[in-house]
Structure 1
Amino acid sequence: MDSKTVPSFAEATLGGHAPLTTKEPITTKASEAIRDIAFGSFAGMVGKIVEYPFDTVKVRLQSQPDHLPLRYTGPLDCFRQGIKQDGVEGLYRGVSAPLLGAGAETACLFFSYRTAQNILKATILPPEMKDMEQLPLGPLIAAGAMSGATTSLILTPIELVKCRMQVPLPSPLNPRLGPSNGFHSSVVSPLAVIGDVYRRDGLAGFWRGQLGTLLRETGGGAAWFGFYEVAALYFRSARTAGKDTSLTITESMLAGAGAGMAYNFSFYPADTIKSKIQTGDLADVGGGRQTFLRVGRALYRMHGLKGLYRGCGITLLRSAPASALIFTIYEGLRKAF
């Protein structure tokens, strides 16, 4: 990979290759799809390794029982208690499933982003846009939203298992450790969680919290790709005419970091509600079956808007370097191969 510059994402997916149209050979489409999946998977797994301890803290802050005094005073206290109880490895509890999931998620995001642009070109966009190498910002944001909505179907089961492994589980001696998930030990395997979900709720139980994931990923996908494209356009326009329009690694990292924060902040309350539903907290509030609106209203009544943004700071902190790495690695691999 060139140590000096990498192309912008739009350049990597559109500008450096012939536009993917219905006239394009099937073998070319297949090759592009394979590259999206392979490079996106690798970039996603690297990003997940960097961000996972912060994600564990975020989920634990979001999932604290609201009918009891809060166990953690903030992110630093959650870090401290987690390391004291389980060591550093405890912050990576349940990483195996989301590590594979992160690869699938990022691959799906980049692949479906390209596919969504092709769908828009073939259907609703005016004729003058169908042969454009790079679409305007509006259609790119729409493609990002479509990409996120598609990816949510893959993410919900993965995040269900991840969240239930990250949150400390209850024991007969200390019921304040967390919500009841059917276990009584502090460490469980992904297979144990999967088996418990299936016994309790069947196959549909793995998509518990799907609405929250759908809202977060649809809006977040638009924000993630949209911010990156805007930042890339800004960096390119700030240069004098005739210079190379490829982004430097620093520019790509900055654009990716901002994109990660935009993604997480834009629909963070949906993620908080989703985590509550998936970890079983607020199960008895208001009676009846948990729904997105029921859990959201209960959480807002007890803690207001602040409760919906619990753990947001630590989430933004971890999302910046992870997203920066994802975009830079993905684009670098596309340029190198």
Structure 2
Amino acid sequence: MPYEPTIPTIPEPTTTARLQPTSQGVEALKDIAFGSIAGIAGKVVEYPFDTVKVRLQSQPDHVPLQYKGPLDCFRQSVRQDGFRGLYRGVSAPFAGAAAETACLFWSYRIAQDFLRSTLYPSDSALPLTGLVTAGALAGAVTSVILTPIELVKCRMQVPLHSPLDPTLRPGTSLSSSSLSPLAVIADVYRREGVRGFWRGQMGTFLRETGGTAAWFGSYEACTMFFKKRLRALSSDPTLSDPMLPVHQQMASGAVAGMSYNFIFYPADTIKSKIQTGELTHARPTFLSTGRALWRSHGLKGLYRGCGITVARSAPSSALIFTIVENLKRWFA
């Protein structure tokens, strides 16, 4: 019988392997779409409070404070510009909130996949420490995208003075009620170039890395607690991953929002001071700005506006997580 060589055949990929890239792409699109919707909804709720917070944070240190507190800042702002003035510059934050929240949820899932492939078994759920780590990684990635967006937002919320501009009289504000995001972007590029858009990056990085770890970590911890209670109260022994009722989803999201804003609030204060301070030849650093603020006002200065920020973060974060979770359920 003549010899007939056999040609080895390459096995067909399994259905799971064939679908994995498509599945990853679909999940990424869901993260981006759901996160964008939730981010915009949350920004509608929180933006007036955010304006008050930034104005409190950005008060000069070498003169008497203009605002006695959040309520006084709110009253003065409404008296000067009306309630609409509290939404000044909201167009940029709408785009920013969509990009930020979409990036957070997308990078959070990617970070979880990375940790499963390196540190944890791929077929098991991540422990809380793994989820906190994934949140920190997601925050670090998002900070790079968020810094330019927040710089434009802050400069529209707070008047900016610059002794470097020879066309302006001393004390003339760069922002007004008619200033558009494009005008701010053009001004930043003209003065500082591309690098200027990342002014305050260190503060955003510290706030987002630590804050997002607390944000996702607190939400996951509360969710685990509520699900454990539901399983204990349920008569169904097969109930392993129960769907939480809306009020428990919102409670978990509210706790997450307050944790995010309170723990790393000083980093946000320093970031806002850098982004809205006077433009000088010496570029301010995170440490120098923090030391100057500490010398002038102590710990109280670092937490200026913290109360209103934590208060507004509860409903905003509750809304974001609830929208994302339910959209995932509806489009599963």
Which residue is equivalent to 1:307?
301
Could you list the per-position Cα deviations for residues 270-301 of structure 1 after superposition, in whole angstroms to 9, with x for gaps in the alignment?
Answer: 000000000015x67xx943000000000001
- 1:42: Cα distance to partner? 0.2
- 1:170: Cα distance to partner? 6.0
Counterpart check, 1:47 vs 2:48: no
Q: Could you say which structure has the larger radius of gyration?
A: 2
Runs of 4+ in 1 over 4 A off after TM superposition: 21-24, 179-182, 241-244
SS at match of 1:200: helix
Which residue is equivalent to 1:65?
60
SS at match of 2:179: coil
Q: Percent identity, please.
A: 65
Counterpart check, 1:224 vs 2:228: no
Which residue is equivalent to 1:139?
130
184-193 vs 301-310, greater mean Cα deviation? 184-193
Which residue is equivalent to 1:260?
257
Counterpart check, 1:328 vs 2:322: yes
Question: 2:88 pairs with 81, 93, 99, which one?
Answer: 93
Determine if contact 1:165/1:187 at 8 Å carries over to the other structure.
Answer: no
Give the AA of the match of 2:122: K
Give the AA of the match of 2:134: A
TM-score by length of 1: 0.86
Which residue is equivalent to 1:292?
286
Could you list the per-position Cα deviations for residues 141-181 of structure 1 after superposition, in whole angstroms to 9, with x for gaps in the alignment?
Answer: 0000000000001100000000000014569xxxxxxx968
SS at match of 1:257: helix
Q: 1:96 to 1:169 in 2, by over 3 A?
A: same
Give the AA of the match of 1:117: Q
Q: 1:109 to 1:185 in 2, by over 3 A?
A: closer
Q: 1:249 to 1:184 in 2, by over 3 A?
A: closer
- 1:190: Cα distance to partner? 0.7
Matches within 5 A, 1:103-114: 103-114=98-109
51-60 vs 243-252, greater mean Cα deviation? 243-252
Q: 1:106 to 1:184 in 2, by over 3 A?
A: closer
- The structure with higher relative contact order (CA 8 Å, sep 6+) is 1
239-248 vs 93-102, greater mean Cα deviation? 239-248
SS at match of 1:246: coil
Which residue is equivalent to 2:224?
233
Matches within 5 A, 1:142-153: 142-153=133-144
Question: 1:317 pairs with 311, 315, 319, which one?
Answer: 311
Counterpart check, 1:193 vs 2:193: no
Count how many residue pairs are aligned between Structure 1 and Structure 2. 303
CA distance in 2 between counterparts of 1:181 and 1:31 reads: 50
Determine if contact 1:182/1:196 at 8 Å carries over to the other structure.
Answer: no
Q: 1:205 to 1:182 in 2, by over 3 A?
A: farther
Q: 1:144 to 1:181 in 2, by over 3 A?
A: farther
CA distance in 2 between counterparts of 1:203 and 1:36 reads: 29
TM-score by length of 2: 0.87
Q: 1:186 to 1:258 in 2, by over 3 A?
A: same
In the alignment, structure 1 segments of 5+ residues that lack a partner are 1-20, 172-178
Which residue is equivalent to 2:165?
none
CA distance in 2 between counterparts of 1:48 and 1:328 reads: 14
Counterpart check, 1:273 vs 2:270: yes
Which residue is equivalent to 1:161?
152
Root-mean-square deviation (Å): 2.0
- 1:182: Cα distance to partner? 6.0
- 1:238: Cα distance to partner? 1.6
Q: 1:256 to 1:182 in 2, by over 3 A?
A: same
Give the AA of the match of 1:48: K
Which residue is equivalent to 1:9?
none
Determine if contact 1:152/1:213 at 8 Å carries over to the other structure.
Answer: yes
CA distance in 1 between counterparts of 2:291 and 2:131 reads: 33
Counterpart check, 1:80 vs 2:75: yes
Question: 2:122 pairs with 130, 141, 144, which one?
Answer: 130
CA distance in 2 between counterparts of 1:145 and 1:166 reads: 28
SS at match of 2:62: coil
- 1:22: Cα distance to partner? 7.8
Counterpart check, 1:203 vs 2:186: no
Determine if contact 2:36/2:98 at 8 Å carries over to the other structure.
Answer: yes
Counterpart check, 1:35 vs 2:39: no
CA distance in 2 between counterparts of 1:60 and 1:96 reads: 18
184-193 vs 326-335, greater mean Cα deviation? 184-193
Give the AA of the match of 1:121: R
